[in-house]
Amino acid sequence: MKIEAYGQTDVGQKRDHNEDYFLLEPELGLYIVCDGMGGHAAGEVASEHAATCVRRVLNESRDVIDAFAEEDTPENREAVASLVERAVQTACNEIYNMATQDSGKAGMGTTLVMLLVIGGKACMGHVGDSRLYMVRRGHIHQLSEDHSYCTEMIKRGKMTREQARNSPYANVITRAVGIQESVQVDTLLLDVLPGDTFLICSDGLSGYTEDPNELAELLAVDDAAAIPASLIGLANDRGGKDNITAVIVRGVADDKDRELEDARAREVNLKLETLKKIPLFRYLTYQELVKVLNITYLETYEADTDIIVEGDSGEELYIVLAGKVGVSREGQAIVDLHPGVHFGEMALVDQSPRSATITAKESTRLLVVQRRSFYTLIRKEPVLAVKLLWSFVQVLSRRLRETNEQLSGARSQLDTMRDVPFVSIDDFE
């Protein structure tokens, strides 16, 4: 797969200078948009320094990037995400120190959103309200979440999206690079597939493209090189009240590897579609589903192989991706499970022995989530944790109701049997 990338920035209709900065570094696989703030000239200093600092730190740690390109392991994933976070933190610290040493730059800072593409994977780094979008198979997904006052109010249920659009605080951000010595950085690891189109942009553009369907159509144009100019033209036509920057990154299929890339695309889409159908994950956004997918790994079991043995300890949740498994208890078959069904989820929340034996009835592929990885994810993602907790409660409540109904049915049968008069065999003699 090849990567195409194009970028353009514009001062807009209302500003007299441009504090946005974008960076395209194809050799490193790095694409960044920054939107500076903080007094005359200071904003543009902050935005450029943030981007070039991130590039420097990543270049200094190419061994981490190369290791991930060589082998996609949980350890290497964590190392890349940590590297991206460290690069942004370094930029934050350096900009903060620059501002404290020069009174003319006091209070300067910048938003930052970046995509580091490594082979068929990418890592997002994000601070502020500049955005990262992805269009895949005709559907658009906002992969970044604005760090803004209005977004926080929406999450708390104190403001609607319509109220947020018209709020006088719409441009107030809660995080920025360089305002303080350090900043919390959002990272997200994701697959990059042929045909995927990413838009990295400042809020001078996103503020005029609230309709996701419209934006998806604009990003679906075959000529990716023409997209930044068309988006900037649209923002200017609609007011251009801020600087406008757009960077397009697109995965393009390489003819010699097309079959392999098509197979990988089918696998990634199958995993995400399967996760989306699981009751435990029904409330998760696309971005949150990607985070869950990142902590899974794939296991294959041949027919007649035990996956779980009744009475054993375990700490894995399993999701049937393909194939079929059978559930038995005390040697008695209970039910067969097919793709899209999960089992073993109680191992994520307690350490009780397995209550049943699960056996592959044919060649079966499973997505696996380990307890340790699950706990790490929910510690980092409190909103996701609440959604998963609510789903767990619903699943357990449903099972409790089903058990009660079964017990009630059994009790009714026993009561009926008690009402039948006893007949002795002697009565027939």
Instruction: Extract long-range pairs of 390-394: CB within 8 Å, 24+ residues apart.
Output: 390/283, 391/279, 391/280, 391/281, 391/282, 391/283, 392/280, 392/345, 392/349, 394/279
Per-residue pLDDT band at 60 (split at 50, 70, 90): very high
Q: What is the mean pLDDT of residues 39-53?
A: 90
Report the CATH superfamily, name and number, of domain 2-252: PPM-type phosphatase domain (3.60.40.10)
Residue 424 has pLDDT above 60, yes or no: no
- Between CA 267 and CA 263 the distance in angstroms is 6
pLDDT higher than threshold 60 for residue 253: yes
User: Does CATH place domain 263-380 in 2.60.120.10?
Assistant: yes
More confident residue, 262 or 402: 262
pLDDT tens-digit map of 159-200 = 888 888 778 877 789 999 999 999 999 999 999 999 999 999
Percent of the chain with pLDDT over 90: 67
Whether 108 has a pLDDT exceeding 80, the answer reads: yes
Per-residue HEC secondary structure of 265-287 comes to: HHHHHHHHHHHHHCHHHCCCCHH
pLDDT in tens, 71-81: 998 889 999 99
- DSSP for 68-83, please give it: HHH---HHHHHHHHHH
pLDDT at residue 154 tops 90? no
**Residue 217: pLDDT over 70:** yes
Give me the pLDDT at residue 382, please.
86
Residue 97 pLDDT greater than 50, yes or no: yes
- SS3 at position 24: strand
Predicted model pTM: 0.86
Beta bridge partners of 356: none
Percent of the chain with pLDDT over 70: 94
pLDDT averaged over every residue in the chain: 90
- ∠ CA 193-197-202, nearest 5°, is 135
- Residue-wise pLDDT for 114-132, tens only, equals 999 999 999 999 999 999 9
The domain locations on the chain are: 2-252, 263-380
Least confident of 36-40, 379-383, 420-424: 420-424
Per-residue pLDDT tens over the stretch 332-360: 999 999 999 989 888 887 888 998 999 99
Q: For 394, what's the count of Cα atoms within 13 Å in the CB-facing half-sphere?
A: 12
CA angle centred on 11, ends 5 and 17, rounded to 5°:
125
Per-residue confidence band for 247, with pLDDT thresholds at 50, 70 and 90: very high
Question: Rounded distance, CA 366 to CA 59, Å?
Answer: 37
Indicate if the pLDDT at residue 152 is higher than 90.
no
For residue 50 the two structure tokens come to 């943030």
